[in-house]
Structure 1
Amino acid sequence: MILANILRDSDYKLNQFKDEKITKLEQSIVFKQDKKGSDIAYIECLIRKKQIKLTPEEVVRQLYLMVLIDDYQYSNSRIAVEESVSFGREKKRADIVVFDAQQLTVPYIIIELKKPKLKDGKEQLKSYCNATGAPIGVWTNGESISYYNRRDPNYFIDIPSIPKSTQKLTDILTERWTIQTLVDNDKLIKERKSLKDLILEMEDEVLANAGVDVFEELFQLIFTKLFDELSSTRNPSRNLEFRNYGETGAELKEKIQRLFDEAKQHWEGVFDNRTKITLTSSHLEVCVSSLQGIKLFNSNLDVVDEAFEYLINKSSKGDKGQYFTPRYVIDMCVKMLNPQAHEYMIDTAAGSCGFPVHTIFHVWKQQLKERGLPISHLFTAEKKLTEQEDYVSSKVFAIDFDERAVRVARTLNLIAGDGQTNVMHLNTLDYDRWNDYYNNIEWTDIYGTGWKNIRKLLVNPKSYNVNGETKFDCRDFNFDIIMANPPFAGEIKESRLLAKYELSKNSKGKQQAKVGRDILFIERNLDFLKPGGRMAVVLPQGRFNNSSDKYIREYIADRCRILGVVGLHGNVFKPHTGTKTSVLLLQKWNDDPNLGPLCPRVDDYPIFFATMQEPSKDNSGEKIYVKKQDYPESAQKMRHEQQSAEPVDSYNDDSIDMEQYLLDSHGHLIVKHDLFNHEGLTQDGIAEAFIEFAKKEKLSFF
């Protein structure tokens, strides 16, 4: 393709344009020889009516001129290119200007192409709009595109498109949207953006100078928008409300606050009922316009999960040595432990609840399969089967000591569980203090249901009384499955706490003054497991190798069958930490014949060992994605399936040429790893090898 060759090694792409326009432009190209005899491509400009050399920028300009003329029906007489814009004594040239229909010298729309990176392009575009008074601006590099409405010199709000020549701007702003409209026009697909990119954009332009807690304000807005999407998915004829339909700033703020209040009532225990949105009307207007065109719900919550991961990592998690587990590591663990609908599962260091949420999806898919039902694109927002609701409300638990992480975890779990959740704010290691939480009315108001449910799983569920307060023995539980990535950093030095743990003593049985947090988590997690229960836990590689940690390995082997060890690549947790980690898979010995043959003690048995070969991220912590050339047959298969499928989610940043990459059924980029086969599109990996091993060894859960 001629145009692709011209754009090679540039930041400009062709993804925004239809094939017929690309073909039409290519058919109009003429070649002229330069002084060295090389062929140079030229085109007759649609506006200037003279031959212009085809640079990457000019390719995108000519294609967008076709869009303006053919799709938006603007006449050539209303369009100018390289239009002079005055900045005092300085003059610059706007790439494309569309003039007002009544005043053909007054700019109406300005299109910026010169700056192929959004941040640079938007700044240039804003300066042109401010200098000319143009109310509408467009930035595109042929890959991503953004549309803006200038409200005043400091605030530009996102709009879904520009008006056609027969429309007014108010027609675009006041058009009512349903959930299907949102699916059809999802900004993540049409404008090739990610939610994280938009959050960064809002931070740069509005939130950094708004004098607010960025995490709290964005959390409130995402929470509110999720509720709005859920309401419209359940009632498809309902108009979305998280949207500016041309209201004044005050009217919009009143509407969004009301919607936020409804969301708080529907999903209790995340925000205090008195919480108010504190953004000013103008700041809120910008944020709503940025978020309103994105569909947050999809069938795996990846879009919102990515945004929450960014926000929490930014606000607090890294300080405690607790980092989000990449979702492909979580999925590998879930596949290997194979949770079932009748089993109880907990994450004791939950973070944003990745392990519980992906466990829920794993079981839900089994339940749908048993009924012969398909998994739809809005899977997470649709009304759940009774057995799906029951599973979340009674079988899945999560606890974490970071209050912000717990609120995010509760949100994702409330969404997944249709309003039910057993996510609690507790210190896993300090279990004697759990009774203090229970006797705190404010805590019980939020977490009382989860507390009531988890008590049923206590080995000794009977209460006792101390000084008039009800107490429970919260050490031992009967969970079937634990999956966790406990914090590595920091050591526990509090003697009161250390005295509760056998692993706080060294190999000679002497009490240590300080013990690594992750070591205590090993023992604590085993307390949660019933005989025959199984666990996947992420640990520092040193725990498997260091001679000084031999007593830890002996402690584990005495209590559990070691099912497997998966060495993760050193880049997996970058950029947050370069600590080399492994996933340890265990099953607790079952010496009670009354409990059935879950895991009878044996002296000698094989162990599954595997090492991750694909890094999944580069040395700076950026994810590496699967390219179409890696799996050409899969790329062809997905292209065929998606031609007739409903729209899928997609995300991107300015640096990724999506045409090169293989997308999954959600339109998501696929991280290049060898942990498992992604939707049948990649090769079998470590999880599939373990499943084969588990079946051969006749492990109880396969």
Structure 2
Amino acid sequence: MTEIPYLTIPEGKICDFISGGFRHDTPEEYVRQNLEKRLVNELKYPRERIGVEVALQMGSNKPRADVVIYLEKLPQTQENIHVVVECKKENVSPSDKKDGIEQLKSYMSACLNCEWGLWTNGKQRQVWRRIKNAAGQAEFIEFNDIPDVSGSTEDIDRPKRNKLVRADGDNLFLAFRRSHEAIHVSDGFNKENAFFEFLKIIFCKIEDERNIPKPLEFYVSSNERISIDGQQSCKQRIEAIFKRVKSKFNQIFDSNEEIKLSPRSLAQIAAELRGYSFLATDIDLKGHAYEEIVGSNLKGDRGQFFTPRNVMHMAVAMLNPKLDEKILDPACGTGGFLVTAMNHVIAQLKKDWAKDLGKQESEWNDDEKKALQNRISEMAESSFFGFDIAPELVKATKMNMVMNNDGSGNILRTDSLLPPHLWEADFKNALAKSLKIKPAELSNKDSIGLFDVIVTNPPFGSKILIKEEYMLDQYSIGHGWESPKKAGNGEWKKKTVLSASPPEQLFIERCLQLLKPGGRMAIVLPDSILGSPGLGHIRQWLLGEAKIIASLDLDSDTFQPHTGVQTSILILQKLTPEEKAEEQRTRILRPYHIFMAVIDKVGHDKRGNNLYQRDEHGEEILIEVNETVTELNKTADGQTTVKSAKRFEKVPDDQTRAVPAVFREWKRDEGIAW
């Protein structure tokens, strides 16, 4: 077996994206590394044209510019610097006399042919262009952004559809933060209102991207952004898009709902987001950006902790949901599990689509892309369902689903633990319509087994106990059980209804009730359910209702920095009536194998900091990876050249990445078809 070449990285250092050298891991360096990734992967500048920590001769001083871009095919000297970038830590203000915008302008002035300058602290960003005015004097004009490698300034103001870029690194998250900061500065909304106003704008951005083949309308020119009339023009364009959004998503937005943001903040947000393709950007980058914003604005108080994305990927990959299966998360939160499952299925659909067309995705024309998007919308509308008790999280999930392709129609507000006969009429009607059944059929716990796949992380904890007798009575787990010693026959014996029960215990039973016979599910549970002697009745009951396919013991840091509760993921398959009848007749539990794994490395520590693999000396490992780099051709509008390149990257210390492949082999050996 060929060993993968690797380097090690000293403690407290990071590997520079451009130079490959080691630098101190600081907040300022975080800003710079994301900026470097943006220059290469989004704006398509070749690495060889970029300089890092470049000394500038300014009289007797030699300050260092954080990042520079040199003019093409010219000696890389100070006079041939075309772009200067200054990256600061978050608490440095643009107006700072020493490290603010004036420092950037002085650096630009010291470089004879420097035309562009960018200043950012991650939370704010300013771009300046140096020109000569009618009197021949240098003048600085504020712009939305620096140009990409083609040098076109038109795309800075109104990008063409084929020039929208996929976000890279944390750059979309940083753009979201800057957008939120603009709302905070200009409009003064509280966090929740600011969040939902911002999400209206995300809807408009996605709607504009989908409006093929019409020209993009989600933009603001540099001149518009800095003038009152221009800001108003930008708002009018986006309000026109929002009218279409309200028409398409009337289950999310009321017909009389309006964008309440000021023209000033709206223009700033348009400047931040206009160049990105939300539809093309990787699901994890969008998910990270979205959930960071959600988490800071919609913190729940019902035991809700967002599942880490690597854990969601693992669980969904193990369940392997397929086209035309009905997939549900009955405690959907912000929709992370549903989005992950939807994109898992979409990947299958795209693969089949490419096979049918006989060409790869990059070769599809607009009609083929639009036809696929229609197919995705149909699939998402009929296959994905999410319930949550919190109305703000229902709305957040709908928006998350739309941002990540579609499927917002079946995200519904309800208390999933309620007896079905107490479900509200609106909920019943909407669910029945999507499932193509009559609302009256959703009558009791025995009539709701309608889903093929369930994947969920229910709220849990002793602070949110379920105490209502009418709630508890519908669940076997909602009853007290006599221990085997008292029962005298080696089994737990069901007794009367409990006075209270934690919701996660009831969710196990409700999820199985919601599954079709033979359906499968993954559920995150506290370890007490699997190991506490006093909860043996739950395990006995569970073995009579489902096959335990897999048990995954998660590290205690999995949900940190929010909670250190020890959790596991159970993957279950609901028994069919025939299987249950056979076991009840013979009173013999047929033996079978269970896939078990202990996952003690989840890619982050208890503070939430990322962890990476280390060598025997404790130093982080860097492995060499091959990548394809897409470069814009300067002479051809929108044309690109794909080149191969090598770079070093850290390896996450994350065992969840390896589990699905091992599980897939185990399933094959066990004869499990899904």
Q: Same fold (TM over 0.5)?
A: yes
2:406 matches 1:413: no
Give yes or no for contact 1:125–1:137 (8 Å, CA) kept in 2: no
Give yes or no for contact 1:423–1:450 (8 Å, CA) kept in 2: no
2:661 matches 1:688: yes
Q: Residue 454 of structure 1: CA displacement?
A: 3.4
Corresponding residue of 2:12 = none
**Could you tell me which amino acid in structure 2 is paired with residue 64 of structure 1?**
V
Deviation string 1:222-281 (CA, Å, 9 cap, x unpaired) is: 443444445445525613424346332222222222222222222331222222122222
How far apart are the structure 1 equivalents of 2:630 and 2:148? 28
Aligned residues: 583
Deviation string 1:310-346 (CA, Å, 9 cap, x unpaired) is: 2332233431111221222122112212222242221
How far apart are the structure 1 equivalents of 2:20 and 2:77? 27
In structure 2, relative to structure 1, the CA distance for the partners of 1:585 and 1:377 (3 Å cut) is farther
**Could you tell me which amino acid in structure 2 is paired with residue 256 of structure 1?**
I
Corresponding residue of 1:454 = 435
**Could you tell me which amino acid in structure 2 is paired with residue 622 of structure 1?**
N
Q: Residue 621 of structure 1: CA displacement?
A: 1.3
Corresponding residue of 2:146 = 161
Give yes or no for contact 1:625–1:661 (8 Å, CA) kept in 2: no
Deviation string 1:78-129 (CA, Å, 9 cap, x unpaired) is: x9xxxxxxxxxxxxxxxxxx9xxxxxxxxxx9x784x732441535279955
How far apart are the structure 2 equivalents of 1:377 and 1:497? 52
In structure 2, relative to structure 1, the CA distance for the partners of 1:491 and 1:381 (3 Å cut) is farther
RMSD over aligned Cα atoms: 4.7
**Could you tell me which amino acid in structure 1 is paired with residue 409 of structure 2?**
T
Corresponding residue of 2:485 = none
2:262 matches 1:280: yes
How far apart are the structure 2 equivalents of 1:337 and 1:636? 29
SS in 1 for 2:164: helix
Deviation string 1:191-250 (CA, Å, 9 cap, x unpaired) is: x64333333344446416733244444444444344444544552561342434633222
How far apart are the structure 1 equivalents of 2:125 and 2:71? 15
Q: Residue 547 of structure 1: CA displacement?
A: 0.9
* 1:527-606 pair list within 5 angstroms: 527-592=513-578, 602-606=589-593
Corresponding residue of 1:424 = 412
How far apart are the structure 2 equivalents of 1:559 and 1:305? 35
Corresponding residue of 1:195 = 172
Deviation string 1:458-489 (CA, Å, 9 cap, x unpaired) is: xxx5728xxxxxx8446532322111110013
Corresponding residue of 2:212 = 235
How far apart are the structure 1 equivalents of 2:609 and 2:144? 30
Give yes or no for contact 1:144–1:193 (8 Å, CA) kept in 2: no
How far apart are the structure 2 equivalents of 1:558 and 1:71? 76
SS in 1 for 2:337: helix
How far apart are the structure 1 equivalents of 2:104 and 2:580? 82
**Which is bigger in relative contact order (C-alpha 8 A, separation at least 6)?**
2
Deviation string 1:417-440 (CA, Å, 9 cap, x unpaired) is: 6566322111100134654343xx
Deviation string 1:395-436 (CA, Å, 9 cap, x unpaired) is: 322111111221122233345565663221111001346543
Give yes or no for contact 1:347–1:397 (8 Å, CA) kept in 2: yes
Give yes or no for contact 1:210–1:283 (8 Å, CA) kept in 2: yes
SS in 1 for 2:188: coil
* 1:117-136 pair list within 5 angstroms: 117-120=89-92, 122-124=94-96
Q: Residue 451 of structure 1: CA displacement?
A: 3.6
How far apart are the structure 2 equivalents of 1:225 and 1:267? 13
SS in 1 for 2:540: helix
Corresponding residue of 2:380 = 392
SS in 2 for 1:350: coil
How far apart are the structure 2 equivalents of 1:606 and 1:593? 16
How far apart are the structure 2 equivalents of 1:378 and 1:273? 39
2:299 matches 1:324: no
In structure 2, relative to structure 1, the CA distance for the partners of 1:566 and 1:147 (3 Å cut) is same
Q: 2:119 aligns with which of 139, 151, 157?
A: 139
SS in 1 for 2:561: coil
Q: Residue 491 of structure 1: CA displacement?
A: 1.0
Give yes or no for contact 1:297–1:378 (8 Å, CA) kept in 2: no
How far apart are the structure 2 equivalents of 1:231 and 1:423? 23
* 1:61-460 pair list within 5 angstroms: 64=68, 66=70, 113=86, 116-120=88-92, 122-124=94-96, 138-139=118-119, 146-148=125-127, 159-161=144-146, 175-183=157-165, 188-189=167-168, 193-204=170-181, 206-207=183-184, 210-232=187-209, 235-236=212-213, 238-244=215-221, 246-247=223-224, 248-298=230-280, 300-371=282-353, 372=355, 376=361, 383-384=371-372, 388-414=376-402, 418=406, 421-432=409-420, 434-438=422-426, 449-454=430-435, 456=437
In structure 2, relative to structure 1, the CA distance for the partners of 1:250 and 1:240 (3 Å cut) is closer
Q: Residue 349 of structure 1: CA displacement?
A: 0.8
Q: 1:501 aligns with which of 475, 495, 499?
A: 475
Give yes or no for contact 1:627–1:660 (8 Å, CA) kept in 2: no
How far apart are the structure 2 equivalents of 1:387 and 1:24? 46
How far apart are the structure 2 equivalents of 1:529 and 1:327? 24
SS in 1 for 2:342: helix
Give yes or no for contact 2:555–2:599 (8 Å, CA) kept in 1: yes
Q: Residue 576 of structure 1: CA displacement?
A: 1.8
Give yes or no for contact 1:229–1:297 (8 Å, CA) kept in 2: yes
Give yes or no for contact 1:125–1:139 (8 Å, CA) kept in 2: no
Q: Which deviates the most, 332-341 or 369-378?
A: 369-378
How far apart are the structure 1 equivalents of 2:51 and 2:236? 49
Give yes or no for contact 2:557–2:602 (8 Å, CA) kept in 1: yes
SS in 2 for 1:586: strand
How far apart are the structure 2 equivalents of 1:65 and 1:462? 63
In structure 2, relative to structure 1, the CA distance for the partners of 1:383 and 1:306 (3 Å cut) is farther
Q: Residue 612 of structure 1: CA displacement?
A: 0.7
SS in 2 for 1:532: strand
In structure 2, relative to structure 1, the CA distance for the partners of 1:132 and 1:487 (3 Å cut) is closer
In structure 2, relative to structure 1, the CA distance for the partners of 1:203 and 1:609 (3 Å cut) is same
How far apart are the structure 2 equivalents of 1:297 and 1:239? 14
**Could you tell me which amino acid in structure 2 is paired with residue 606 of structure 1?**
H
Percent pairwise identity = 22
**Could you tell me which amino acid in structure 2 is paired with residue 697 of structure 1?**
E
Gaps of 5+ in 2: 1-15, 40-44, 109-115, 130-140, 225-229, 483-494, 633-638
Deviation string 1:353-390 (CA, Å, 9 cap, x unpaired) is: 22222222222322333341677479998542665444
In structure 2, relative to structure 1, the CA distance for the partners of 1:289 and 1:693 (3 Å cut) is same
How far apart are the structure 2 equivalents of 1:362 and 1:237? 29
In structure 2, relative to structure 1, the CA distance for the partners of 1:299 and 1:375 (3 Å cut) is farther
Q: 1:616 aligns with which of 567, 587, 603?
A: 603
How far apart are the structure 2 equivalents of 1:230 and 1:391? 18
2:625 matches 1:636: yes
Gaps of 5+ in 1: 27-42, 80-97, 99-108, 151-155, 465-470, 649-657, 663-669, 677-684
Corresponding residue of 1:653 = none
In structure 2, relative to structure 1, the CA distance for the partners of 1:203 and 1:423 (3 Å cut) is closer
SS in 1 for 2:559: coil
How far apart are the structure 2 equivalents of 1:72 and 1:161? 20
How far apart are the structure 1 equivalents of 2:667 and 2:567? 23
How far apart are the structure 1 equivalents of 2:345 and 2:203? 23
* 1:516-527 pair list within 5 angstroms: 516-527=502-513
**Could you tell me which amino acid in structure 1 is paired with residue 479 of structure 2?**
K
How far apart are the structure 2 equivalents of 1:230 and 1:541? 43
Corresponding residue of 2:594 = 607
